[in-house]
């Protein structure tokens, strides 16, 4: 299974999701490929936001050496699942990769815990207080995706 998490900058939400999911699959002994990317290119090559690094560290996850990258068209050929944080990410992924909106390949991260609601993970970039709740939201959703996708495999 190959999973790509996508947000706008790839320095807050999707970087956290990559760190969380990496830890979860490692704990399960699964050899899945986990990665993240941003629809925007402003932070390419940068480490995650210090506030994201801090909340991850407080939860036993090290994302300090991650480097932001921008979503590529070819990501759609590589990843089984592209999980987005909000509606704007969703629309950008469709535009940038050509993936069909009806394909199971693309979905909202929070649809594992809130099926079909297409709920957004709020962007904590603008609000320091959001990092802790956003971490917990992503963590719960990742656990749920892991359980669902594990059961999907032959």
Near ligand 4NP by CB under 6 A, which window of 11-19, 99-107, 109-117, 140-148? 11-19
Q: How far apart are CA 138 and CA 15, in angstroms?
A: 11
CA distance 41 to 124: 18
Catalytic residue among 12, 13, 107, 139: 13
In this structure, are residues 4 and 69 in contact, taking their beta carbons and an 8 Å threshold? no
Q: Residues 37-66: x/- map of binding to ligand 4NP (CB under 6 A)? A: -----x------------------------
Q: Which of 3, 4, 5, 8 binds ligand 4NP (CB under 6 A)?
A: 8
Shortest distance in whole angstroms from residue 152 CB to ligand 4NP: 27
Burial class (CB in 10 A: 0-12, 13-18, 19+), 58: exposed
27/78 Cα distance (integer angstroms): 24
The reply on whether position 10 binds ligand 4NP by CB under 6 A is yes
Q: Tell me if residue 12 is catalytic.
A: no
Rule CB under 6 A: choose which of 11, 21, 37, 138 binds ligand 4NP: 11
Q: Which residue is at the shortest CB distance from ligand 4NP?
A: 9
**In degrees, to the nearest 5, what angle opens at C-alpha 5 toward C-alphas 57 and 32?**
85
Smallest gap from Cβ 133 to ligand 4NP, in A, equals: 13
- Output the CA torsion sign for 58, 59, 60, 61: negative
Q: What positions carry a catalytic annotation? A: 7, 13, 123
């Amino acid at each position: 299974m190959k999973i790509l998490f996508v947000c706008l900058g790839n320095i807050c939400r999707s970087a956290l999701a990559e760190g969380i999911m990496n830890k979860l699959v490692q704990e399960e002994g699964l050899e899945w490929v986990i990665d993240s990317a941003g629809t925007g290119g402003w932070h390419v090559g940068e480490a995650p936001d210090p506030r994201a690094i801090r909340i991850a560290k407080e939860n036993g996850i090290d994302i300090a050496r991650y480097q932001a990258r921008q979503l590529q068209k070819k990501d759609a050929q590589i990843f089984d699942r592209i999980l987005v944080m909000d509606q704007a990410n969703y629309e950008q992924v469709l535009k940038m990769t050509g993936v069909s909106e009806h394909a199971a390949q693309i979905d909202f991260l929070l649809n594992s815990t809130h099926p079909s609601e297409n709920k957004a993970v709020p962007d904590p970039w603008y609000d320091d207080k959001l990092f802790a709740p956003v971490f917990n939201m992503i963590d719960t959703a990742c656990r749920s995706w892991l359980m669902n996708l594990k059961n999907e495999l032959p």
